[in-house]
Amino acid sequence: METSFTVRPARLDDVPAMARVIVRSWQETYRGIMPDRVLDDPGLVDFRERFWTAALVDERYRANRVAVAVIDGAVVGVAMAGPPESPEAGWDVHLFVMYVLAAHHGSGAGAVLLDAVVDPAEAAALWVADPNPRAQAFYRKHGFAADGTVQVDDGVREIRMVRSAGRSAEPRTVPGD
């Protein structure tokens, strides 16, 4: 079944839904990778709401691009990209956040979200949990490759994936087009 969705810039009134999508996505994706005490923390949604409010209104995040995927009025995906943390990083943009609820994997929303926050003409980088084969395959499909750099963040092993400027993804159709 084809699902019709809209991807648009995030708005302040999206913040509660964005926080819930992130927390639910973490629970769906990282159970067994992140500690349960983190995933099941009753204050996690409030914490993520504070983060997203800051991300949308705080001057220090002004250069970031934040988008949401919406289906039938409900936010089902969130993405955020911005300048790399280090100016000598070797890429133009860093993908900091990219989540789509599991029920909407394969809908095309992730691909459109990615394009909404990372222009294919820009060199880009991201960190992805390892193991996370589905996400890693998604990023490879969109021109990213592991560069051999690994970090452990809050006990989660992550690999860095990079894409050179102008690298286009595989051709695709977008539901609803």
Whether domain 6-119 has CATH 3.40.630.30: the reply is yes
Q: What is the pLDDT of residue 171?
A: 40
16, pLDDT greater than 70: yes
Between 96 and 156, residue with greater pLDDT: 96
Spatial distance between the Cα atoms of 86 and 67, rounded to a whole number of angstroms: 23
Phi, psi of 52 (to 5 degrees): -65, -35
Domain ranges of the chain: 6-119
122, pLDDT greater than 80: yes
Q: What is the pLDDT of residue 48?
A: 97
**Is residue 81 helix, strand or coil?**
strand
Q: How would you classify residue 48: left for phi > 0, otherwise alpha for psi between -120 and 50, otherwise beta?
A: alpha
99, pLDDT greater than 50: yes
Q: What is the pLDDT of residue 19?
A: 98
176, pLDDT greater than 60: no
131-169 per-position pLDDT tens digit? 999 999 999 999 999 999 999 987 889 999 999 987 554
Q: Kindly give the pairing relationship between strand 93-100 and strand 124-129.
A: parallel
38-95 per-position pLDDT tens digit? 999 999 999 999 999 999 999 999 999 999 999 999 999 999 999 998 877 789 999 9
Mean pLDDT of all residues in 94-120 = 95
Q: What is the pLDDT of residue 173?
A: 36
The model carries a pTM of 0.89
Q: What is the pLDDT of residue 88?
A: 72
Mean pLDDT of all residues in 10-31 = 96
Q: What is the pLDDT of residue 167?
A: 59
Please answer whether residues 141 and 172 qualify as being in contact, where contact means their C-beta atoms are separated by less than 8 angstroms: no
Spatial distance between the Cα atoms of 104 and 145, rounded to a whole number of angstroms: 24
Between 119 and 173, residue with greater pLDDT: 119
Question: Which residues have C-beta within 8 Å of that of residue 67, sequence separation ≥ 6?
Answer: 7, 8, 9, 10, 78, 79, 80, 113, 116, 117
